[in-house]
Amino acid sequence: MPGYGSVVLLANKERFREAVSALEADVMLYSEGVKDEIQKQIDHSRGAVVEALLPAVKRNPPDE
């Protein structure tokens, strides 16, 4: 792990690697959850904008 040194007791090396792998998996799951939540918020915001602006645009459409 860059920036955290390179000394690990040889007896603990495999356990350390397993812990790092588990942490990487946890971070990946968290990241996917955050991406899903962000997408939900984007979809909701998009819908709210369309709902708010569509009636005005229909009443007064832009010139082409």
Distance (Å, whole) CA 34 – CA 24: 15
Q: What is the pLDDT of residue 4?
A: 66
51 within a domain of the structure (yes/no): yes
pTM of the model: 0.61
36 within a domain of the structure (yes/no): yes
40 within a domain of the structure (yes/no): yes
5 within a domain of the structure (yes/no): no
How many domains does the chain contain in total? 1
For the chain, residues with pLDDT lower than 50 are none
Q: What is the pLDDT of residue 2?
A: 66
24 within a domain of the structure (yes/no): no
4 within a domain of the structure (yes/no): no
Token pair recorded at residue 7:
């000394």
Distance (Å, whole) CA 26 – CA 49: 35
Token pair recorded at residue 9:
């007791």
42 within a domain of the structure (yes/no): yes
> ∠42-45-49 over CA atoms, to 5°?
135
Residue 54's domain comprises: 31-58
